[in-house]
Structure 1
Amino acid sequence: MSIQKFGIALFASSMLATGASAASLNVAIDSSPAGLDPHLITAFNSVVVVQGNIYEGLTDINADLDVVPDLAKSWDVSEDGLSYTFKLHDGVTFHDGSTMDANDVAASIRRVQAEATGSPLASRVSPITGIEVVDATTVKLTLDAPFAPILSALAGIAIVPEELENDIEKLQQTPIGTGPFKFDEWQPNGYIALTKFDGYREDGLPKLDGVRVNFVPEAATRQVGLTSGDYDILPGIDPATALQLHAQPNVSVFDTRDVAYTLLGMNVTRGPLAEPKVRRAINMLLNRQEIIDGALFGAGVPGGPLSPALSSWALDTSEFDCYTPDVDGAKALLEEAGVDMPIKLSILVLPRQDARDISQVIQQQLAAGGIEVELVNKEIGEFVQDWRNSDFDMFVSANGGNPDPDQYFYRTFYSGGSTNVFQYDNPELNDLLDKGRSETDQAARKEIYDDVQRMLACEGPVAHLAYGNLFTAVNNKVEGFEIYPTGRLTSLVNATMK
């Protein structure tokens, strides 16, 4: 045997003996992120790269949707529920080598709160009125009223270096966090490369040498790449792709009930959409089961304002009378509203295959009631910008869910909420949402959010469509992967490669 062949054989036998190895893992998604700043991003392609991999918060949400410690190893709550004192882990460093301490935590929260930042997360920390750095590893947060979901809300607030508090440019291109992987390189039309952070606070983690997130526009190319081993994970795949990949012998398809949802959003400042009766009529024209069967291949359930995965919160959609398709009833309601017919509107479409398919079904369904719809397709950066600027009549999208109702409802539907792109203002709903976040009794909170769901379901600015199963396809070379209902790739910290 030649020396070269002997070396190859020795390497192969060594790999067989050690089993799983530290190696780089390849993820494939459909397009490049619009940005990487954890306090500004909203799109899945950005979140899947940074959240849980590059960045961490004081708390985290695990696979069971429970709040667990993260950068904060413990916390104490005052008897009146108005102050939370967090004790941080010692010796945590950022990817640039600087030490993470309580000053960085304080700066990160202020950064999200600042109007100049324009963070869509601002409503999550709006009840925090005081931030005191007690010492390097202790920070005390004071609230203006009891805020039941604060620990859950803080899981979404990434901690960034203090010196970037007033910089809203750098982190979009060069993220700096404390997570298990650090940013290495971004090839705009190719990939984002992350490398193992050797200074990570947990010994022995991460187990991978790195993660490369590849931008692969063609779904067929992503599928072939997964089965051939060029790619290791396809996160957040649509039901049709999941069905196809189920049959592949070297692929596992993980699924869980999704807290994310598909929706038809409506700008209430645009003509007839200002009229609640028109929004109710639109709901009556939607056949959600037809949307699920035609666009999601049957993989989903009709969606109300909260996911059925939140079993202690969500109302059954049978409570919402507008969810029964009724074309004649919708026409009568539009006539009663006194709007000029036919109504002509446009739908801004999220550049994802399921959103495109859903939009086409909705276009046909609304046409039956005399609502003519033009579909507007843009790339993800333009979509996000138009969404943030409320530059749409309607839009079809998929939004990430949250384990506590406040995290979705308050920022989305409260007047002036940080993601209230619908320009919706309902004083009665505002009052309920204020009560919901300050009420600490679980049964009383449930009653409040039941009323919120009933108020939003038929006449709110969002027609909730469906909650599907969340699918992620994984090549069998990968070990230690766990799917999270939030869609994040948090479990990559424990993953290995055969």
Structure 2
Amino acid sequence: MKGRRFGFLMALILAMGWSFAQTPVRGGTLQIGADASPSGLDPHVATAFASFIVTGQIYEGLTEIDERLRPRPALAESWTVSPDGLTYTFKVRSGVTFHDGKPLTAGDIAFSINRVRDPKTGSPIASRVNLIKDVRATSPTQLVVELSQPFAPMLIELANIAVMSEEYVKAGNDMQRRPMGTGPFAFKEWVPDTYILLERHPRYWRQGRPYLDALRYNIVPDAATRQVGLASGTYQFLPNIDPSLAVTLRNTPNVKLITTQDLAYSLIGMNVSRKPFDNPKVREALNYALNRQQIVQAVYFGNGTPAGPLGLRSWASPQSAFPCYNTNPARARELLAQAGYPNGVDFGMIVIGSNKTVVDAAQVVQQQLAQAGFRARVEVLEQGKFIQEWRNSNFDTFASINGGNADPDGYLFRTFSTGGSTNVFKYSNPTVDRLLNQGRTTVNEEARRPIYARLQVELACQGPIAHLVYGTLFSAARENVQGFKPIPTRSLIYLRDTWLAR
């Protein structure tokens, strides 16, 4: 009996100790090991994860997306929607200040949304808000947004519009190099290819946040160096790491892996304005040549699933709906012959070199395609050069990784609509355009589902993207890093809740 009582008391003491250990501790700098240097820090034009992991701490939107992929208030305290779904009236949160100490106003938010909408900005997220007809501040704390049509993912998409200070931007500050927002951390210093330092925003509107004094993003492209650095304690947090590094770190003392499902996916993109990929049969043949399950095993170490056009589990169609997902090199050769290429095709493939998973996947894909008559000349490019070529549609094909979204429209419309802001493939399909417009303007969720089911069938085999794999999203941290929660969108908003146990 005594033994049982002793065991119970010990368990109680341990539980109490764990409880005490979970009391947040203030102070300290979180040393982050980042795999690439950002090409810039203007969130309205950025396209790379290397930028977003930094700007997500500097800026905020009217709304934000939580770990369950639901929109919730951020800089907007509340909102109302007109009965026809065309007018949103937002109450702007009071007591919010920019990092320079000046108060946030509804005018700053209107300016930021209009900056994204302005063609001169060239924002890759402009297509997400192209149903906004007008946005205006009716008072310092009230914003009115008028739509041309009902827009189902409106509140989700507003989370992607980082709010800037109108005065700061118009003063001529370089937003790529000197960002300034309302977020929990303020920009302090950037030593190119070495580190970026953010400091705690002392007047941050979320009471008591952030706990940390600073975030230091150490630029460490070499995975082995990041691994050793985390194991030794030089770095305390590695965000969004590749599967091979996760496997290596799994049993490292004093290191933990933090996981969730990733909405980002690896892909092969095809330029349909260039031969041979202007022919939909060639695009279909490429899909038949791929063995996605083999990529899951060889590149993702089993931590992934073959990717269809949508990664949102509640929206994704079963792969049985896509005949081209049944690997069949012989069928691929037949389609190439029907398209006028009986001897196969030669083409270039540029690869974003800052992502090891993509580089590894491109090598496996190159081998798979060769068995079906696709002869790819693979060229691995550094991140800045890759983004430049991608933006200019200067490729036959490319291998990369794309971010997902909490709503199907957030990914599909900008990517596949004619003239979409990230439609670098030059793809245009009237049926797809019609379905995309129906999907975003239909407010009832159940009525939207069959629309997106048909879209996935239209895009899976003959679209401009061969979707490869949705992986498990891994981050790695020292055991004393507490309070962080991962989000499938790869957002790091919970760094504001992160603290270092002593």
Aligned-pair CA distance for 1:342: 3.1
1:348 to 343, 347, 350: 350
Are residue 157 (structure 1) and residue 173 (structure 2) matched? no
1:414 to 408, 414, 417: 417
Gap change, CA 1:17 and 1:430, over 3 Å in 2: closer
1:196 to 191, 194, 200: 200
Gap change, CA 1:203 and 1:432, over 3 Å in 2: same
Aligned-pair CA distance for 1:170: 1.1
Q: What SS does the corresponding residue of 1:273 show, helix, strand or coil?
A: coil
- Look up the match of 2:264: 260
Are residue 321 (structure 1) and residue 323 (structure 2) matched? yes
Worse-superposed segment, 330-339 or 405-414 = 330-339
- Alignment deviations for residues 124-150 of structure 1 (CA, whole Å, 9 cap, x no partner): 111000112110010000000000000
Pairing 1:269-348 to 2, within 5 Å after superposition: 269-307=273-311, 310-339=312-341, 341-348=343-350
- Separation of aligned partners in 2, 1:151 and 1:341: 50
Gap change, CA 1:284 and 1:169, over 3 Å in 2: farther
Pairing 1:35-434 to 2, within 5 Å after superposition: 35-51=40-56, 53-163=57-167, 170-307=174-311, 310-339=312-341, 341-351=343-353, 352-434=355-437
Aligned-pair CA distance for 1:169: 7.1
Q: What SS does the corresponding residue of 1:333 show, helix, strand or coil?
A: helix
Are residue 486 (structure 1) and residue 485 (structure 2) matched? no
AA of the residue aligned to 1:246: R
Q: What SS does the corresponding residue of 2:461 show, helix, strand or coil?
A: helix
AA of the residue aligned to 2:271: N
AA of the residue aligned to 1:435: Q
- Alignment deviations for residues 297-325 of structure 1 (CA, whole Å, 9 cap, x no partner): 11101000011xx2221111121000000
**Equivalent pair of 2:333/2:344 in contact (CA under 8 Å):** no
**Equivalent pair of 2:25/2:211 in contact (CA under 8 Å):** no
Gap change, CA 1:484 and 1:168, over 3 Å in 2: farther
**Equivalent pair of 2:24/2:499 in contact (CA under 8 Å):** no
- Alignment deviations for residues 240-271 of structure 1 (CA, whole Å, 9 cap, x no partner): 11111110120110111111111111010111
**Equivalent pair of 1:111/1:166 in contact (CA under 8 Å):** no
- Look up the match of 2:453: 450
Q: What SS does the corresponding residue of 1:274 show, helix, strand or coil?
A: coil
- Separation of aligned partners in 2, 1:167 and 1:142: 28
- Alignment deviations for residues 29-48 of structure 1 (CA, whole Å, 9 cap, x no partner): 12211100010111011111
AA of the residue aligned to 1:157: I
**Equivalent pair of 1:76/1:86 in contact (CA under 8 Å):** yes
- Separation of aligned partners in 1, 2:342 and 2:140: 63
Aligned-pair CA distance for 1:285: 0.1
- Alignment deviations for residues 82-124 of structure 1 (CA, whole Å, 9 cap, x no partner): 0000101112111122221011011001100011000001011
Aligned-pair CA distance for 1:348: 1.0
Gap change, CA 1:225 and 1:346, over 3 Å in 2: same
- Separation of aligned partners in 2, 1:479 and 1:141: 39
**Equivalent pair of 2:333/2:342 in contact (CA under 8 Å):** no
Give the paired residue count.
Answer: 480
- Look up the match of 1:7: none
2:471 to 468, 473, 478: 468
**Equivalent pair of 1:239/1:471 in contact (CA under 8 Å):** yes
**Equivalent pair of 1:111/1:165 in contact (CA under 8 Å):** no
Gap change, CA 1:423 and 1:18, over 3 Å in 2: closer
**Equivalent pair of 2:89/2:145 in contact (CA under 8 Å):** yes
- Alignment deviations for residues 396-449 of structure 1 (CA, whole Å, 9 cap, x no partner): 111111010000010000000000000000011101111111101111110111
- Alignment deviations for residues 332-390 of structure 1 (CA, whole Å, 9 cap, x no partner): 11101113633111111011111111000111111111111011111111111111111
- Alignment deviations for residues 427-482 of structure 1 (CA, whole Å, 9 cap, x no partner): 11101111111101111110111111010000000000011100000111211111
Aligned-pair CA distance for 1:166: 6.5
Q: What SS does the corresponding residue of 1:377 show, helix, strand or coil?
A: strand
AA of the residue aligned to 1:404: D
AA of the residue aligned to 1:82: L
Q: What SS does the corresponding residue of 2:454 show, helix, strand or coil?
A: helix
Aligned-pair CA distance for 1:20: 3.2
- Separation of aligned partners in 2, 1:72 and 1:122: 21
- Separation of aligned partners in 2, 1:347 and 1:169: 37
TM-score normalised by the chain length of structure 2? 0.94
- Look up the match of 1:5: none
Q: Which runs of 5+ in 2 are unaligned?
A: 1-20
Gap change, CA 1:454 and 1:164, over 3 Å in 2: farther
AA of the residue aligned to 1:466: V
Worse-superposed segment, 134-143 or 161-170 = 161-170
- Look up the match of 1:12: none
Q: What SS does the corresponding residue of 1:220 show, helix, strand or coil?
A: helix
- Look up the match of 1:20: 25
- Separation of aligned partners in 1, 2:172 and 2:410: 23
- Separation of aligned partners in 2, 1:235 and 1:90: 32
- Separation of aligned partners in 2, 1:326 and 1:168: 56
AA of the residue aligned to 2:147: L
Gap change, CA 1:167 and 1:275, over 3 Å in 2: farther
Q: Percent identity?
A: 48
Aligned-pair CA distance for 1:165: 5.6
- Alignment deviations for residues 162-193 of structure 1 (CA, whole Å, 9 cap, x no partner): 13566897111011110000000000021000
Gap change, CA 1:332 and 1:152, over 3 Å in 2: same
Q: Which runs of 5+ in 1 are unaligned?
A: 1-15
**Equivalent pair of 1:347/1:396 in contact (CA under 8 Å):** yes
Gap change, CA 1:371 and 1:60, over 3 Å in 2: same
Gap change, CA 1:412 and 1:169, over 3 Å in 2: farther
